[in-house]
Amino acid sequence: MIVRRRWTAAATTAILFSAVLSHPAPGTAAPADPAPPITLGATETALVRVQLRDQAQLDRLVAAGADLANRPRARDGRILADLVLSGTQLAELTAQGAKAVQVVQRAGDGSRHHAESVRAAQARTAAGLRAPAAGQRTTAAAAVDTLQVQQAYWWTTSGQTFLQAQVATTATDDPDVEITVSWRTADGATGSFPLYRFEDSGEYQYHYNLPQPVPNRPVQLTASSSLGGVSRVVTPTFWPNTTPPPLPAGYQKDFIDAYLTPTDIQARIKRLARQYRDLVDVIDLPNKTQGYRRNAVAYLGDPAVAAVVVESVRFGDQGMNGVQVRTVDPGRRNRPLTVRYRDRVLTVSLATDTAGKTVSTTDEVAAAINARQPNRFRATVEDGSTGLPMPVAGPARLDDGLQGTEVPARPWTVQALRLGVHRDGSRVGVLAYSQEHAREWATPLVTLEFAERMLANARTDPATRELLEQVDIFVIPTVNPDGANYSFNDFNMQRKNLVNHCTGAARDPKYRTSWGVDINRNYTVGSYFDGYVGASANCLSGTYAGTAELSEAESSNVIALAQAHSNIKFAMNVHSYGGYFMWPPGAYRADGRVTLPRPSIDESTLFLNSARRIVGAIAQERGTVTWPSQTGPVADVLYSAAGNSADQLYYELGIFAWDFEVGNDRWNPATNQWEGVGFQPPFDEAHGESQEYAGGLVEMVRVARDYAAAQPAA
């Protein structure tokens, strides 16, 4: 029997979010569509694609540290953002003129998808945009601007051809400039579509739109603006225009049968090391994580009336789960406030007055517990209870609130696989690592599928054997096992690790799904602590940077592995979702949008040419194409991510460091819309992502081999 402890996973709480939502933009909301509106229960949490009212609404959300899943995009002149929201937050946004257009995933869906993936495994065994506002001018003004086509690409996937364009105007300070793209196909068909202004950190970047369906191969594209500017005629380029070597007959793949928990991953690492002793080393990374553990906590009193939050100093699994706390009336006059701990019961005897009435306040009770039992307990006054009379209450049982009873409650040793014939540093090294963010369940499937392909084919495919002769491969399937365990067992939208650096009222258990550090904001280059944008000092924020650079075991492990193996020259950080392929710089300062230094021309060329190769390899599996507008430096195609791992690997250690965002949007021909797949899609989709992006990692190994071969002999 599985015992469920008292704390249940609650809706995400974003402390600053509600404050921002309480200040709606001026004006009235847009008329409602005939279709029924999408709503959530007040305490329900979901990942929702929301059409925002305007840029100002987006700016307020970003400033508040809202949980954005990827970069906001434009569609039909509207801003679309994927947000993790509670029902209350969605209702507040809707009241301000926003509109929910897709529930990508609900909190709790992940457990269902995990169960579905397990059943599938058993079956297998058996068998930043700104759009022109209404009413803006569409006729040419006296001044004529100049247009430059920055991108014009086309591709075909699932039988549908798409065209994407990116155009910049010299009228950068005019927010009302409208740009339209006109196209012609090889068979003479013509058409057009609008582009929308994209600003980032208050700086104009360009105009663009999502990929647009066209009848067949486009051969001509021009852009015109409402100011009279007209671009030169360009021929759209086929994207990515690369094809990997064909797979030989008998090539082995498809080693992924189910979503994998950290315990499952640990077992698979052990099995691979046993099965391929001549090709595998297992590296225990040096910094143990906290483990799937939390301090035990209880409300002493009624939070709706008056309460004190009492928390154990030690973790719940260290003998503190089940400890009881109570307040009592001594039943005598003129008694002082006392605190006693005996037989696993913390008893607070309230002070009384001359009439024998209890007179202790919540603040006094919390202070007394902290002063007299500092090695066992810490106490804070529950929000809204400051200065209130402390009631006689309890006994209440302390509990860590963790529901994964099958998860080991101990510090976790993160492990890396090292693959290759020559695992001695004499060959160029490649690092693939995944699940820095706990809720991204598909990402370890990618890295493990990649590892198994390399090992299984080494004995039957000469090309794979050659790669393992020439490249030294490192794989960390799960960087953040504690957060992953919490995501699988307690709150599937968990992004961060389990270390709770919050103090005071922020340690209230009602915020438990918001605790933790964002591992990919905890690195040293371009960090929040250096003044870069994209991380937070708020311990409840989804992008909380921690107490200092590399304060967390998880981030320190990634860097320790790279520092210990100086032959690593290429790295891929696998995230989800949205379909991105990115590289440094990944952060900028807000004033003037000053990024970290740009790579040299030669290095930029290597980044882009390698990206084309890898994107081409991904597309071979099921036609998935990462958009050219989402291929490039992180700070340009996603957002500023202060303190991310790729920047530290590149700028400090000289590693060509990339980022995947697996889980590309899928085109729905019935609605003519791109739809998001989420962090934990139904397993069939996650399985597809594992297959296509594993192929991309194999191509990265080929990139590393070719790079090493081109270097002059030492």
Residues marked as catalytic: 661
Q: Are 75 and 210 in contact (CB under 8 A)?
A: yes
Strand 45-52 relative to strand 78-86: parallel, antiparallel, unpaired? antiparallel
143 contacts: CB under 8 Å, gap ≥ 6? 171, 227, 228
Return the number of other C-beta atoms located less than 10 Å from residue 27's C-beta.
10
**End-to-end CA separation in angstroms for the chain:** 63
Rounded to 5°, angle at Cα 265 from 447 and 127: 85
CA distance 387 to 578: 48
Going across the sheet that includes 78-86, the strands are 73-75, 78-86, 45-52, 99-106
User: Among 566, 587, 577, 562, which Cα is nearest to 660's?
Assistant: 577
Q: Are 447 and 697 in contact (CB under 8 A)?
A: yes
In the block, residue with structure tokens 């050659």: 466
What stretch of H or E contains 269? Answer: helix 262-275
Supply 388's token pair: 């209130």
CA distance 125 to 118: 11
CA distance 390 to 692: 60
CA distance 14 to 495: 13
SS3 per-residue string spanning 581-622: EEECCCCEECCCCEECCCCCHHHHHHHHHHHHHHHHHHHHHH
CA distance 292 to 490: 11
CA distance 545 to 522: 5
Residue 221's alpha-carbon distances to 33, 75, 90, in angstroms, are 34, 20, 40
In the block, residue with structure tokens 């060509």: 656
3-class secondary structure, 538: coil
3-class secondary structure, 536: strand
Q: Are 227 and 138 in contact (CB under 8 A)?
A: no
Q: Are 487 and 494 in contact (CB under 8 A)?
A: yes
- Partners of 633 in the beta sheet? 583
Strand 673-675 relative to strand 147-157: parallel, antiparallel, unpaired? unpaired
Return the number of other C-beta atoms located less than 10 Å from residue 219's C-beta.
14
CA distance 209 to 227: 19
CA distance 226 to 224: 7
In the block, residue with structure tokens 């690092």: 431
Q: Are 68 and 61 in contact (CB under 8 A)?
A: yes
In the block, residue with structure tokens 């605790």: 515
